[in-house]
Amino acid sequence: MVAGAPIQVEARLSEEVERFFAGYRDAYNDAAPAAVARHIAEPSLLVQSKAIVWSTAEARLQAMTDLLAFYVNSGAWRIVCCTAYEEVGVRQRMG
């Protein structure tokens, strides 16, 4: 499912995508910055109020460390689902 439209995905590719996002979800929920950072390539560009480029592994790791610290301190930092396959079920359970 992409943007609400069903798509055909090869089963092997689907499994790889599911594994990737499940790993990201688990790393994030475990508040493990190095594990989260392994899911992000460098260089990477993040645009919020300004553009930020992570051009090294060290910069990427520091960004993930800061991000997870922020979310852990806020108390609202769990990822419930990461893929379109899970999203429908989660939305149904959450109402």
Specify whether the CB–CB gap between 82 and 28 falls below 8 A.
no
pLDDT one-digit tens code per residue, 2-52: 566 666 667 677 788 888 888 988 998 899 999 999 999 888 888 878 888
The Cα–Cα gap between 10 and 16 comes to 10
| pLDDT score of 5 | 66
**Closest of 58, 13, 15, 16 to residue 37, by C-alpha:** 58
Specify whether the CB–CB gap between 62 and 52 falls below 8 A.
no
The Cα–Cα gap between 84 and 30 comes to 22
